Amino acid sequence: MRKVPLPDGAKLYLYTAALTALAAGEVSNAARAVVTVANTLAVKAVVVITSEDYPELEGRVARVKVATADNVTLDDVDTSDLTKFPPGGTVSLIPLVADDWQRLPYIAAFGLTGGDIKTGTSSYLDVPDDQEFSLGRNARRLEYTNSWKQDGAARAALKASDGMESVHRLDFKDGSASYYVGELTYDDTPSTEKGAEMTTKSTVLLRGAPTNLPKAA
């Protein structure tokens, strides 16, 4: 019988180190993109992609599949579409160091909004029915609240990242993870309501859809 996947029990983390990109490298057109660059990354390293040439990849998170001294192969990053990814463009990779994550405990509410399809409508004199067409999707945002603690490490990390580009990671019980890249706005004023736990609210204006990575093999 199929087991219904639930996020219950997942743990949320905030990346606390500076998002420093490595040198830019030219990217190939392939089902698994290869970035040609003097490389210091190891296999299974997780990176954020940033690119002036390919906005479709901006804010995408990927895992290194193959690493050599001269190039990096990114798993599940398909750049074979020459219309979206004309040859000759470059990307930069931002490594996410395993030790630089701060857990945000006691998450009271967590949810994504946005991503709805935007549409336009064509109407013709000689056609009885209007025709609808896609114009892409609305912007996405992540919103969550967590229990407030005056001297908590989570509060300190959120305050330090307020107004900055951030990366959040949600670890699921099966070992997979979702990554959320975008500008973090943290409201340090806790809610105060009789009989209710005091919480603070964080909003992340996402650069795109979250990236879901399976458990590293």
| 78-123 confidence digits (pLDDT tens) | 999 999 999 999 999 999 999 999 999 999 999 999 999 999 999 9
Q: Whole-model pTM above 0.75?
A: yes
* Neighbouring C-beta atoms of residue 102, cutoff 10 Å: 17
In angstroms, rounded to a whole number, what is the distance separating the alpha carbons of residues 22 and 178?
Answer: 23
Q: CA 206, 208, 214, 217: dihedral to nearest 10 degrees? A: -100
Following DSSP, what letter does each residue of 151-193 receive, concatenated? T-HHHHHHHHHTTSEEEEEEE-TTS-EEEEEEEEEEE-S----
Each of the 217 residues of the chain gets a pLDDT tens digit; together they read 777 777 889 999 999 999 999 999 999 999 999 999 999 999 999 999 999 999 999 999 999 999 999 999 999 999 999 999 999 999 999 999 999 999 999 999 999 999 999 999 999 999 999 999 999 999 999 999 999 999 999 999 999 999 999 999 999 999 999 999 999 999 999 999 999 999 999 999 999 999 999 998 7
In angstroms, rounded to a whole number, what is the distance separating the alpha carbons of residues 54 and 47?
Answer: 16
Which domains, ranges and CATH numbers included, belong to the chain? 18-95 (2.40.30), 101-213 (2.40.30)
Is the CB of residue 80 less than 8 Å from the CB of residue 124? no
* Neighbouring C-beta atoms of residue 32, cutoff 10 Å: 16
**Tokens linked to 59:** 């804010």
Residue corresponding to tokens 């990366």: 167
Is the CB of residue 188 less than 8 Å from the CB of residue 198? no
* Neighbouring C-beta atoms of residue 3, cutoff 10 Å: 6
In angstroms, rounded to a whole number, what is the distance separating the alpha carbons of residues 137 and 190?
Answer: 32
